[in-house]
Structure 1
Amino acid sequence: MTTIYHNNRCRKSRETLAILEDKNEEIQIVNYLETPPTEKELAGIIKLLDISPLELVRKNEQIWKDNYKGKEHSDAELISIMHQNPKLIERPIVIKNGKAVLGRPPENVTKIL
């Protein structure tokens, strides 16, 4: 099973999903804006991606600029911020067999297929 944290309004997310569909993957689609990952799930995803929480934040979003930019945040605080504001989570995230990648560019997904 391949899981994609997906936003249908995002072109990169749609392109990544299309790659998965073309590879005939069994896909679990998580619309993370409607069903945000828990803080524990986010921490696990970040660990699988092997990045810092700050690297998963969409820093160009207005929510970030208005409320969080330029301030110090612990990793736990960043995870909480993303959980409370899922729009700040970089997308798409694809997970398969204990490995994860960001679909930016969408072709990154082939690294774990």
Structure 2
Amino acid sequence: MRYLVPAVILLLSACATAPETETPMPTLPVTPSTHVYSSVLGLTSAELIAQLGSPALQVREGVGLKMQFRRPQCIFDAYLYPPPSGQGVTRVAHSDARLPSGADTDQAACISAIRATR
């Protein structure tokens, strides 16, 4: 019995596969997205709140900030990042709009719906 445990361990270790090596992903600079609705591009968090009301969710993601606004019609996410220098106020650099089902929707229509129900 004393030799059974080491034998089982050796048997199981023979079945193990070598770990895969990961290729590091290149780091890309944060630049404004071309998919940002122009009425929110460059806004600060205070300006965004002034236009859309209080966000339902705010999440810090590294140096960025995600602000989510929800209405029954749609969900709007705005992603704010500091300038490339790393110093200064965070501003909207990217945004997404989707239906509650998760399907993409028109950002302008979503923002209009959010403004209308403030």
User: TM-score category by the smaller chain?
Assistant: under 0.3
Q: Normalising by the residue count of structure 2, what TM-score does the alignment of the two structures yield?
A: 0.27
Structure scoring higher RCO (CA < 8 A, sep ≥ 6) equals 1
- Whichever of the two has the greater Rg, that structure is 2
Structure showing the higher helix proportion among its residues: 1
Structure showing the higher strand proportion among its residues: 2
